[in-house]
Amino acid sequence: MHRKTAQFLIPLLSIMSALAVSTLIILIAGRDPIMIFEKMFQGTLGSAYGTGQVLFRTTTLILVGLSVALPFQVKLFNIGAEGQLQMGAFAAAMTGAMLPPTLPSLSAISLCVFAAMGAGACWAILAGVLKVRFGVNEVISTIMLNFIAQGITGYLLTYHFAVPSTVHTSPVIDAAIIPSLYSVTGFFAKSPANFSTLLSPCVALLFWVILFKSRFGFEMRATGLQPEAARYGGINAGMHTLTAMGIGGAAAGLGAANILLGYKHYYEAGMTGGIGFTGIAVALLAGAHPLWIMLSALFFGLLEYGGLTVNAYIPKDIFMIIEAITILLVISFSALGKRIQQ
C-alpha cells in the first residue's frame, strides 16, 4: 500500500518540481510563463492538428519507451534504442521502396513493419550476444552499436541509396504507407498521426501481459531480480537476456515504422533525431512499467511538440532541460524515498 502510493507520488512530484524550475527559467529569460504555457496548450491539445502531432510523437515514444523498459526488467540498460530505431527505419525504407507497386496494402505494410521489427531486434540481440558470450556490459555495447548503426545507415544512404542531390532515399510504394487518421476519419486535421497510434497501447498492454501475467515473464523478472537464484530455479538466464533485448529491439523497430511508414515515407539522414534517448527518459519516469509508459510518453510527447510550438518566443532547449530535470528528480526522489522507508 505504502509502496504503491510512493510509486505514483514520486513521478508526479518530479514533474511538478521540474515545471516549477522551468517556470523560473522562463522568468529569467524575460518571458511571461503563463503566456508561454497558454500558447503551448493552444498549439498542442488546444487544436486538432496539435493533438494529432502530440499523438504521433507519443506513439513513437511509447514504443521506444517499451524497448528500454522490457530489458530494464531483466536489469539490462538498453541505451541502444536510437541505433535500433535507425536500423529499423532504414530496413523499412529499403523494403518499402523495393516492393512491387502492385502489392496489396496489407501485405506491403506487414512486410515493411516486419522488416523494421526484425532489423531493430537483430541490432539489439547483438548486444545481448556480446553480454552472454563475452560478458560485455550492455551499456557500453549498445552505445557503440548506436555509432555503428549511424555509420552504416549514413554510408548506405550517401553512397548507394540517396536520391541524387538529396539526403533521403526514394519513397516507399504507396501501398506500404500506413494511412493517417485524418485520411480515414477526418479527425486531427492533417497531422502525421496514423494508425500506429491505435496499435501502440495494444503493444503496451501485450508487454504488460508478457511481463506480469505469463510464465515467461515470471522467469524473466526473476532473472533480472536475482540471476543466481534463477539459475538454481532451473531458469536459462542467457536465453532471457537475448529475448528481452530482442523483444525490446522489435518494439523500437515498430516505433521506426510509425515515423517512416506513417509520416516520412522515406529514410532521411537524422530522421530519428535522438528519440531513442528520450525513450530512456520515458521508461525511467514510468518505472519501466508498460502501462505507466503510456502516460509518461504522453508527457514527453507534449513537451517535445509543445516546445516546438513556442519556439518563436523561447528556445525549445528549455523543454529539453525540463525533461532531463524530471528524470534526475525521479531517480533522486526514489533513492530518497527508499532511505526514508528504512
Query: By the criterion CB under 8 A, which residues form the site for another protein?
Result: 209, 213-216, 218-219, 222, 225-226, 228-229, 231-235, 341-342
Least distance in Å: CB of 290 to another protein?
16
Least distance in Å: CB of 209 to another protein?
8
Least distance in Å: CB of 114 to another protein?
22
> By the 8 A CB rule, do 71 and 77 touch?
yes
Least distance in Å: CB of 304 to another protein?
33
All residues at 6 or more sequence positions from 59 whose CB lies less than 8 Å from its CB, including other chains:
193, 196, 197, 199, 200, 255, 258, 297
Buried b (16+ CB within 10 A) or exposed e, 258-275: bbbbbbbbbbbeebbeeb
- The smaller minimum CB distance to another protein, of residues 155 and 216, is found at 216
List strand residue ranges (DSSP E) for 261-324, in order: none
- Cα–Cα distances in Å, from 167 out to 159, 257, 259, 272? 10, 19, 17, 14
- The smaller minimum CB distance to another protein, of residues 147 and 216, is found at 216
The span from the CA of 69 to the CA of 203, in Å, is: 13
- The smaller minimum CB distance to another protein, of residues 186 and 228, is found at 228
- The smaller minimum CB distance to another protein, of residues 97 and 220, is found at 220
Least distance in Å: CB of 224 to another protein?
10
The span from the CA of 257 to the CA of 117, in Å, is: 8
- The smaller minimum CB distance to another protein, of residues 51 and 73, is found at 73
> By the 8 A CB rule, do 22 and 318 touch?
yes
- The smaller minimum CB distance to another protein, of residues 228 and 312, is found at 228
Task: Output phi, psi for 289, to 5 deg.
Answer: -95, 125
Least distance in Å: CB of 240 to another protein?
13
